[in-house]
Amino acid sequence: MLELLAAHACHGGVQRIYKHESKVTGLPMRFSVYLPPQALQPEQGTHKVPALFYLAGLTCTEETFPIKAGAQRFAARHGLALIAPDTSPRGTGIPGENAAWDFGVGAGFYVDATEEPWSKHFRMYSYVRDELRETVLANLPVDGERLGIFGHSMGGHGALMLALRNPQIYRSVSAFAPLAAPSRCPWGEKAFSGYLGQDRAAWQAYDSSELVASASHKFAEGILIDQGLSDQFLAEQLYPEVFEAACHAAGQPLTLRRHEGYDHGYFFISTFIEDHIAHHAKVLLA
C-alpha cells in the first residue's frame, strides 16, 4: 500500500513522493514520481504513459533528482513519467551504517548484498528491478511495456547494469558520469567487497564493462553517456574509456559525449537532461 507524502503541481503534471513497506528490504522505502499531464486525463480515464527510472548517486535521496535536475519540463513535453527511488534502505540498525558516505546508508550501489550484516536489508537490485517496478505498475498509470532507465554516478552504474542484465524490462538506457567499471575503482571495490565479499568473480554480475562484453542483447538505438571533463572523480573512479572499449569490442552502439568544463554535479546534469529525456522518448514512443 502506498502512502502519499507530498504532491506538487509541476509543468501541467504532478510531482509526488510516496512511502511504502518493502518486503525486499524489510523496511519502509520512499520514491518520487512525476506524472506528466498526459497521464492525468480524467475525462478520458487514466492514460498509461511510458516511464523512466532514475537512479541517483552517493548520499542522494528520492528527492535529489526531482528537485535539482529540471527534468519535469521535458518529461511533460514528451509524456513520460519519472520514477526515482531512494539510494539505500534506512534505519536498519546495522552498527556503523552511517559511518561512511560511500558505503552503507545512501550508498546501496544497486546490488543484492550477500555478506552479513548487509544481506538482510541491502537488496537494492531486487528492489528496483522487481518490487519498485511492480508497485509502480500496480498503482500508477505507467505502461510496463515501455520502460527506460538512467542515472548518475553510482546510479549511472546501476542504470547501465540493470539495463544490460534485464533488456526484457528496460528498452532504453543512458547515464551521467557513471561508475562505468566499478570493479576497478576505489568506490566500487569498497562497496563490492563489503556487500558481495572478496570473490571478484561475483562482482562481474554488477560491473557494466564486464556485462556489455558478454551481453547477447544489443540496445540497437544506442546507449547515451555524458561525461564532464572537469569532473573531480573522472580519473580515479569513473573509467568511461573502459566501458567505451568494451562496447566497441562487443558491437554495442554507444554515444559517449565528453564536455569541457563540466564537473560531477547537478549543474552538469541539468544542462544535458533534455537530451537524455529525448533519447529515451525516441525509443519508448516509437
Angle formed at CA 36 by CA 278 and CA 78, multiple of 5 degrees:
25
| 3-10/13-21 β-pairing | antiparallel
Q: Which of 78, 30, 219, 50 is closest to 137 using CA atoms?
A: 50
State the catalytic residue, choosing from 22, 153, 174, 209.
153
Virtual CA dihedral for 56, 69, 34, 49, nearest 10 degrees? -90
State the catalytic residue, choosing from 264, 276, 279, 280.
264
| 153 is annotated as an active-site residue | yes
| Beta partners for residue 21, in sequence order | 28
| 157 is annotated as an active-site residue | no
Residue 278 is which amino acid? Answer: A
Whether residue 2 contacts residue 29, with contact meaning beta carbons closer than 8 Å, is answered with no
Cell digits of residue 136: 509502480
Q: Which of 171, 168, 189 is closest to 236 using CA atoms?
A: 189
Cell digits of residue 71: 527534468
Instruction: Provide the 8-state DSSP code for 116.
Output: T
| 264 is annotated as an active-site residue | yes
Q: Which of 146, 14, 33 is closest to 86 using CA atoms?
A: 33
State the catalytic residue, choosing from 231, 276, 279, 280.
231
CA distance 151 to 133: 16
Task: Tell me the catalytic residues.
Answer: 153, 231, 264
